[in-house]
Structure 1
Amino acid sequence: MRGNLATSLRRRRRPCPIKQYDRLPPELRRWLAQAALPWSPASALRLWQKLLGETAGNTEAVCRRLDLIEARMLMRDAPRIWGFPPPAAAQTAGGESALPRG
């Protein structure tokens, strides 16, 4: 069975992720190549554009912010996925996270 072939609804065309990746700015593609998480090209580009605006176009600052965002996501998800707390290196002497919020 091949699903409902008699529908009058138009199919949604989804863009090819490889083509989306190829159209990303070179700096963002370099960052994604070393990223620990599997970012979608669309979400990475949305965040890249937002951070470019916040950093007045400073791509090095954007990459540092992306590193912090990804580290915070890993810290948040580590206990749920691997069942252990984040590494002590990400904690300050007072027990607070060394990563910024927001």
Structure 2
Amino acid sequence: MQTNRGATSLKSKQRTGNPMREFDRLPKELRLWLATAILPWRPASVRRAFARAMAQSNDPDLALDALNRLQAKLIEKDAKRVWGPDHPLASNDASRR
């Protein structure tokens, strides 16, 4: 079955609860990041990843940079599997942008 996520090899999970309520409960900086994210992140996933990054750096800007790097890494991984190693986003440089 075709979904609105398109072709991807990344795992998906069933939603539990109300995703809009979860989104509304995120801090402003995470809502802004999530609104411009390339991948279809769940609010709970973003909250966990941000908390891990904050535990390491204790700096919101560095934690957001860590989210960007994580997203780039996931895109690179998916691009290699879906479109092959010659896809522009599948290069090792994609995770450093």
* Superposed pair shares fold, TM > 0.5: yes
Q: Which has the higher helix share?
A: 2
Provide TM-score, normalisation by structure 2: 0.71
Q: Which amino acid in the other structure matches residue 78 of structure 2?
A: D
Structure 2 counterpart of 1:37: 39
Q: Percent identity?
A: 35
Deviation per residue, 1:26-65 (Å, 9 max, x gap)? 1011111111000001111111111111111x11101111
1:16-95 mapped onto 2 (5 Å cutoff): 16-56=18-58, 58-87=59-88, 90-91=91-92
Q: Which amino acid in the other structure matches residue 62 of structure 2?
A: A
For CA contacts below 8 A with separation 6 or more, give which structure has more relative contact order. Answer: 2
| Structure 1: gaps (5+ residues) | 1-13, 92-96
Q: CA RMSD in A?
A: 2.3
Cα distance in 2 for partners of 1:35, 1:66 equals 10
CA displacement at 1:83 relative to structure 2: 3.6
CA displacement at 1:80 relative to structure 2: 1.9
Query: Which entry has the higher C-alpha Rg, 1 or 2?
Result: 1
